[in-house]
Amino acid sequence: MNSKLFALAFLALPAAAIPVLSQEVNVYSTRSHYGSEPAFELFTGKTGIKVNFFMGNNNEVLERLRAEGKSSPADVMVTVDAGNLWNAAREGLLSPVDSETLDKNVPAHLRDPENRWFGLAVRARTVMYSTERVKPAELSTYEGLGDPKWKGRLCLRTSNSIYNQSLLAAAIERAGVPETEEMVRGWVANDPVILDGDTTLLEAIAAGQCDVGITNSYYLARLVSEKPGFPVAPFWANQGKGGTHVNVSGAGVTAHAKNRENAIRLLEFLTSPEAQATLAASSFEYPVSPQAKPHPILEKWGSFEQETVGVAATGKNQAEAVKLADRAGYR
C-alpha cells in the first residue's frame, strides 16, 4: 500500500485497531511531502523497519495526539516551525531523548534544550528583493526595512503567520521587546502590502507590486527551480548583527511511543549526513548537519551567518510576539 492510501486507512481506524509491530514506526507528520521522500525509504532499506504515516496539518496532528493520549500509536511527530514543536513539548506530547548521535548531528541552537525535539532541516527567513529594481547595497537588516526609502515598496505576510511570529519571537530574544517593537512600527509606517503567503509575496515582487519583502528561503528556491530566470534573490539579513533568522522542520519522539527504540533510530538516521543530503535535495531546505551539502540552488546563494539565539526561543516568546505585532498595528 502506498503512503497516501495508508494515510487514509490509518485516519479511518480507531487507535485501538492500529497494529503496533516491533519492526515498524508510526509517524504523525504535518509535512505531506516527507511521506514520499527517499530518506524514509532509505531508512527502511537499511533497517528493515517499516515507516507508517498519518498526515494532516499541525492542528489536526496535535488534536489527534491529545485525544488518543496513552493509547496513541504515534511514535514520532514531524512538523514545521520550532514554535509548533515547542508547543507540543510544552503540552507533554513529546518525550526527552538521550542520544549522543542526535547531540552530534544537530547543533544546539537547532534543537530543544531538553532534547524533546530536534531540527531535521533549516529554512532561513530573510529579506527578498527584486533583482531588477533593487541593488544589494541598499539592503542591510530586518530593521532596515523600516527606512522611509521603502515606503510603498514593501510586502509582508500577515502577522498571524507562524513564520512571522517566530521571526519576531527570535528578535525579542536577541534584541528585547522595545527594539523589536520599534522595528515593526518602522515596517508599518512604510504602508506594506499585506499578503497571505510566501509564494504570493515573491510573485508580487517579481510582478512589481513591491520591491522587497521577507519570506522563507525554500519558497524562492522552488520558484527558481521552475523558472531559472525568476527576478528575485535573497539578501542575508543582519550579517554581523545577530545573524539571519532561521527556523526548522523538526521531529520528536512522542510521549507514549510504543516503538520508542525504532523512533530514536529513525531520528538518528534522518539527521545523519547521508539522509540530510536527501532531505535537502527534495525540500529546498538547508541541512542541519554541517557535513551535508544543500541543494545546488542554495549553494549558489552562498553561505551566511545564522542567528544563534536558539530556535526554541520562537516558542517561548511566541505569545509576546503576537501582542507586540498587535500593539504596533501589524496585521
Whether residue 287 sits in one domain with residue 168 = no
User: pLDDT tens across 185-223, in order?
Assistant: 999 999 999 999 999 999 999 999 999 999 999 999 999
- Residues 139-143 have a mean pLDDT of 98
DSSP class of 202: H
Judgement on whether residues 232 and 179 belong to the same structural domain of the protein: yes
What's the number of domains the chain is made of?
2
Q: Are residues 54 and 109 in the same domain?
A: yes
Same domain, 181 and 160: yes
Q: Match 507514549 to its residue by C-alpha cell.
A: 256
pLDDT score, position 169: 97
Domain that holds residue 96: 3-122+247-297
C-alpha cell read off for 170: 527570535
Over residues 104-125, mean pLDDT? 96
161 and 224: one domain?
yes
Same domain as 68, residue 24: yes
Mark whether 218 and 145 lie in a shared domain: yes
The pLDDT of residue 12 is above 50: no
User: For the residues 97-116, what does the mean pLDDT come to?
Assistant: 96
Instruction: Provide φ and ψ at 177, rounded to 5°.
Output: -65, -50
- Say whether pLDDT at 88 is over 60: yes
Q: What is the dihedral of CA 41, 107, 127, 312, to 10 degrees?
A: 100
Are residues 201 and 315 both part of a single domain?
A: yes
pLDDT at 36: 61
Q: Same structural domain for residues 129 and 179?
A: yes
The per-residue pLDDT for range 244-290, each reduced to its tens digit, is: 999 999 999 999 999 999 999 999 999 999 899 888 778 899 999 98
Assign residue 116 the CATH number of its domain. 3.40.190.10
Q: How many CB atoms lie within 10 A of CB 327?
A: 12
pLDDT for res 290:
86
* Burial status of residue 12 (CB atoms within 10 A of its CB: 0-12, 13-18, 19 or more): exposed
Contacts of 152 (CB under 8 A, 6+ apart): 190, 191
Q: Which residues of 33-56 are buried (b: 16+ CB within 10 A; e: fewer)?
A: ebbebebbebbeeeeebebbbbbb
Q: Mean pLDDT across the chain, nearest whole number?
A: 92
Contacts of 67 (CB under 8 A, 6+ apart): none
Q: Using the predicted structure, report yes or no on whether residue 1 has a pLDDT greater than 50.
A: no
Residue 200 and residue 253 share a domain:
no
What confidence score (pLDDT) does residue 239 get? 98
- Residues 204 and 264 placed together within one structural domain of the fold: no
Q: Could you read off the pLDDT of 31-80 as tens digits, one per residue?
A: 865 556 789 999 999 999 999 999 999 999 999 999 999 999 999 999 98
Q: Do 316 and 220 share a structural domain? A: yes
